[in-house]
A and B are shown apart, each in its own frame.
Chain A
Amino acid sequence: MRHRLSLQIGPVAFRIGSAWKAPLDALARLYASYPAPADGLADFTVRLEPEKPWRRFFRPSVAIQGDYILPDAAPLSLAHGLLAAEMGMNLQMALGQKRYLLLHAATVEKDGRALIMTGESGAGKSTLAALLGERGWRLMGDEFALLDMDNGKLLPFPRAISLKNGAIRVMEAQVPAARFGPRLTGTPKGEIRHLIPNAHAIERMQEAAIPALILFPRFGEAAAVRGVGAAEVFMRLTQASTNYVALGRRGFDALTRLVSTLPALAIDYPDTDTALGLVEDFRQELAA
Chain B
Amino acid sequence: MRNAALLVRALRDPASVRDCDWSGLVSAARAEQLIGSLAFRMEGRAVPARVASIFEGARRDAAHARTQALWEAEMARRALAPLGVPAILLKGTAFHAAGLEASVGRSVGDLDILVPKASLDAVEAALVGAGWERMKEKGGYDDDYYRRWMHELPPLIHRTRDRMIDVHHTILPMTARPKPDAAALIADSVTLDNGLLVLSPADMIVHAAAHLLADGDLAGGLRNLWDIDRLLRQFAAADPDFWLTLSARAGQHGLARAVHRAARLANDLYDTPVPEAWRTWNGLDPLFRARMLARNGWGQESRKALRFAFYVRSHWLRMPPLMLARHLWIKATRPRASA
Contacts and interface: CB of A to CB of B under 8 A. Distances in A.
Interface of A: 1, 13, 15, 17, 37, 39, 41-43, 45, 47, 49, 65-68, 96, 98-99, 246-248, 250
Given A1-B298, A39-B48, A250-B60, 11 more contacts: A1-B300, A15-B23, A39-B49, A39-B50, A41-B48, A42-B23, A45-B23, A45-B27, A47-B299, A67-B30, A98-B58
A82 B16 CA distance: 39
B51 A41 contact: yes
B53 interface: yes
A205 B325 CA distance: 58
A17 B298 contact: yes
B46 interface: no
A246 B61 contact: yes
A68 B27 CA distance: 9
9 contacts: A41-B48, A45-B298, A47-B299, A67-B30, A68-B30, A98-B57, A246-B61, A247-B60, A248-B63
Interface string B28-63: 001100000000000000001111011011101101
Nearest to A17: B298
Contacts of B300: 1, 47, 49, 65
A43 B64 contact: no
A279 B23 CA distance: 42
Contacts of A65: 299-300
Given A39-B48, A68-B30, A98 B298 contact: no
A247 B65 CA distance: 11
Given A67-B299, A99-B53, A248 B67 contact: yes
A148 B289 CA distance: 43
B50 A13 contact: yes
Contacts of B243: none
Nearest to B54: A43
A45 B61 contact: no
Interface string B278-304: 000000000000000000001110000
B22 interface: yes
B64 A248 contact: yes
Contact of B27 (A13, A37, A49, A67): A67
Interface in B284-329: 298-300
Nearest to B35: A67
Q: Chain B interface: which size bin? A: 20 to 34
Contacts, number: 55
Nearest to B29: A67
B69 to A, nearest CB: 14
B50 A43 contact: yes
Nearest to B337: A72
A246 B64 contact: yes
Contact of A99 (B23, B27, B57): B57
Nearest to A45: B27
A114 to B, nearest CB: 23
A17 B49 CA distance: 23
Given A246-B61, A246-B64, A41 B50 contact: yes
Contacts of A1: 298, 300
Q: Which of A13, A39, A41 has the most CB of B within 10 A?
A: A41
A68 B23 CA distance: 14
Contacts of A67: 26-27, 30-31, 299
Contacts of A98: 57-58, 60-61
A45 B50 contact: no
A246 B298 CA distance: 25
Q: Which of B48, B53, B67, B299 has the most CB of A within 10 A?
A: B299
Given A1-B298, A66-B299, A68-B30, A41 B64 contact: no
A66 B31 CA distance: 9
Interface in B199-224: none
A68 B107 CA distance: 14
A41 B298 contact: no
A43 B299 CA distance: 13
Nearest to A250: B60
B50 A47 contact: no
B142 to A, nearest CB: 17
B298 A47 contact: yes
Nearest to A67: B30
A250 B67 CA distance: 15
A67 B27 CA distance: 6
Contacts of A17: 298
Contacts of B67: 248
Nearest to B30: A67
Given A47-B299, A67-B30, A67-B31, A41 B61 contact: no
Nearest to B60: A98
Q: Which of A13, A66, A68 has the most CB of B within 10 A?
A: A66
A248 B65 CA distance: 11
B23 A41 contact: yes
Nearest to B51: A41
Closest 3 CB pairs of A and B: A98-B57, A42-B23, A67-B30
B22 A41 contact: yes
Contacts of B26: 42, 45, 67
Nearest to B296: A1
A54 to B, nearest CB: 13
B299 A45 contact: yes
Contacts of B51: 41
A247 B67 CA distance: 12
A42 B27 CA distance: 9
Contacts of B58: 98
A265 B133 CA distance: 40
A45 B300 CA distance: 11
Nearest to A40: B23
A66 B27 CA distance: 8
